[in-house]
Chains A and B, each alone.
Chain A
Amino acid sequence: MSERLEPCETHWIDPKCPVPFQFEGVSYSGYEGDVLASALWANGVRFHGRSFKYHRARGAYSMAGHDISLMVEDGQHTNLRGDQLVIRPGLNIRAVNTLGGLEKDWYRVTEWFSKLLPVGFYYKAFYTPKWLFPFYEKQMREVAGLGRVNHNDKIEKTPKDYADCDLLVVGAGPSGMAAACTAAEHDLSVMLIDENPHPGGSLGWQNPMCDPSRNARSEYIHRLKGAPNLEFRAGTQVAGVYADQWVALVDNRRLTKLRTRAMVLATGCFEQPAVFQNNDLPGVMLGSAAQRLMHHYAVKPAEVAVVLAANSDGYQLVLDLIEAGVQIACLVDLRRDGEPTDLDQRVREREVRVLVGYGIDEAVPQRGNKAIRGASICPVDDHGNLDRKTIIRCDCDTILVSVGWVPNAGLIYQAGGRFEYESKLEQLLPSTLPDNVFVSGRANGVYSVPDKVIDGQRAALSAVRYLGKYDGPIPGLNEHVGSPPTHPYPIFSHPNKKNFVDFDEDIHLDDFKNAHQEGYDNVELLKRFTTVGMGPTQGKLSNFNAVRILAQLNGQSINQTGTTTSRPFYNPVPLGHLAGRRFHPVSRTAIHEWHVKNQAQMMYAGASMRPEFYHQEDKSREEAILGEAVCVRHHVGLIDVSTLGKIYVQGPDAASFLEKIYAGRYAKQSVGKLRYGIACDETGVIIEDGIVVRLAEDRYYVTATSSGASAFFRSLQRWAKVLQQDVTLVNVTSQLGAMNLAGPASRELLQPLTDIDLSPTSFPFIGVREGNVAGVSAILARVGFVGELGYEIHVPTSQALHVWEALMRQGKKFSIQPFGVEAQRLLRLEKGHLIVGYDTDSMTNPFEANVAWAIGKKKPFFVGQRSVEILRKQPLLRILVGIRFLKDDYPHWPEECHLIFKNGKSVGRITSLSRRSTLGYPIAMAFLHPDLAKSKTRVEIRVAGDQNVVGEVSDMPFYDPDNQRQEITKKELL
Chain B
Amino acid sequence: MSDVLTNSGVGLRRRMVTSSSISDASTRRSPIHDWLLRRAPQWRDWGGMPTVGYFESVESEAQLAKTLGLCDVSGMSRHDLRGPDAESWLQSQGWEIPVALHESTLIPGKGRIIRLDHDEFLIEGSVLANIEPLSISSPSERVVDVFHFQRQDATFLLTGGRAIEVFAQTCGVNISKCESGRVIFSRIAGINASIFPDKIGTVPVYWISTGSDLGWYLWETLIEIVEELDGRIIGMTCLLSS
Contact = CB atoms under 8 A, between A and B. Distances in A.
Contacts of A802: 27-29
Interface of A: 157, 159-164, 257, 259, 581, 583-590, 592-593, 608, 642-643, 648, 650-651, 696, 698-699, 728, 730, 732-736, 770, 772, 774-779, 794-799, 801-802
A588 B8 contact: no
B177 interface: yes
A885 B48 CA distance: 54
B225 A159 contact: yes
B22 A734 contact: no
B209 to A, nearest CB: 11
A651 B145 CA distance: 8
A589 B34 CA distance: 13
Contacts of B80: 730
B31 interface: yes
A796 B169 contact: no
The 5 closest A-B pairs by CB, nearest first: A796-B9, A734-B211, A583-B190, A777-B8, A797-B152
A736 B27 CA distance: 14
Contact of A650 (B28, B119, B147, B153): B147
B137 interface: no
A650 B14 CA distance: 11
Interface in B163-205: 165, 167-172, 174, 177, 189-191
B9 A733 contact: no
Interface string B140-152: 0000010101111
Interface stretch (B52-60, B99-107, B212-220, B231-239): B212-220
A736 B152 contact: yes
B169 A776 contact: no
B184 to A, nearest CB: 14
Contacts of A732: 11, 149
Contacts of A259: 174
Most buried by A among B10, B13, B74: B10
A589 B169 CA distance: 26
B117 to A, nearest CB: 10
Contacts of A774: 27
Contacts of B191: 585
B27 A728 contact: no
B155 to A, nearest CB: 11
Given A584-B190, A730-B149, A770-B10, 12 more contacts: A159-B225, A163-B168, A585-B189, A585-B191, A587-B217, A588-B216, A589-B213, A730-B147, A776-B8, A777-B22, A779-B10, A798-B29
B30 interface: yes
B152 A734 contact: yes
A257 B173 CA distance: 11
B189 A583 contact: yes
B112 interface: no
B136 interface: no
Contacts of A648: 11, 147
A736 B9 contact: yes
B221 interface: yes
A703 to B, nearest CB: 14
A650 B80 CA distance: 14
A794 B172 CA distance: 35
A735 B151 contact: yes
Contacts of B167: 162
B9 A735 contact: yes
Contacts of B11: 648, 730, 732
A915 to B, nearest CB: 32
B83 A796 contact: no
Contacts of B30: 798
Contacts, number: 149
27 contacts: A164-B177, A581-B221, A587-B211, A590-B31, A590-B212, A592-B216, A648-B11, A648-B147, A650-B13, A699-B13, A699-B14, A733-B213, A734-B153, A734-B211, A734-B212, A736-B10, A775-B22, A777-B6, A777-B10, A794-B10, A795-B9, A796-B8, A798-B29, A798-B30, A799-B27, A802-B27, A802-B28
A769 to B, nearest CB: 12
A592 B212 CA distance: 12
B97 interface: no
Contacts of A777: 6, 8-10, 22, 24
A801 B221 contact: no
B82 interface: yes
B169 A581 contact: yes
Contact of B169 (A160, A736, A798): A160
A588 B214 CA distance: 6
B49 interface: yes
Nearest to B171: A162
Contacts of A696: 13-14
A798 B147 contact: no
A528 to B, nearest CB: 36
B170 to A, nearest CB: 8
A642 to B, nearest CB: 7
A776 B82 CA distance: 23
Contacts of B174: 162, 164, 259
B211 A799 contact: no
Given A648-B11, A775-B24, A798-B9, A588 B172 contact: no
B147 to A, nearest CB: 5
A728 B12 CA distance: 12
B172 A257 contact: yes
A700 to B, nearest CB: 11
B189 to A, nearest CB: 5
Contacts of A588: 31, 213-217
A676 B133 CA distance: 37
Contacts of B29: 590, 798-799, 801-802
Contacts of A587: 211, 213-214, 217
A584 B191 CA distance: 9
Nearest to B14: A696
B175 to A, nearest CB: 10
A593 B147 contact: no
A919 to B, nearest CB: 35
A798 B28 contact: yes
Contacts of A734: 152-153, 211-214
A774 B31 CA distance: 20
Most buried by A among B22, B217, B228: B217
Contacts of A775: 22-24, 27
Contacts of A157: 228
Contacts of B28: 796, 798-799, 802
A589 B217 CA distance: 11
A733 B211 contact: yes
Contacts of A593: 33-34
A301 to B, nearest CB: 42
Interface string B27-49: 11111011000000000000001
A728 B22 contact: no
B206 to A, nearest CB: 15
A710 to B, nearest CB: 9
Contacts of B149: 730, 732, 735
Contacts of B165: 161
A148 B80 CA distance: 57
A581 B177 CA distance: 24
A798 B177 contact: no
Contact of A608 (B8, B190, B213): B213
A207 B8 CA distance: 77
A259 B176 CA distance: 14
B191 to A, nearest CB: 5
B9 A161 contact: no
Given A585-B191, A795-B10, A730 B22 contact: no
Contacts of B9: 735-736, 777, 795-799
A592 B215 CA distance: 12
B225 A728 contact: no
Nearest to A736: B9
Contacts of B34: 593
Contacts of B228: 157, 159
Most buried by A among B13, B145, B174: B13
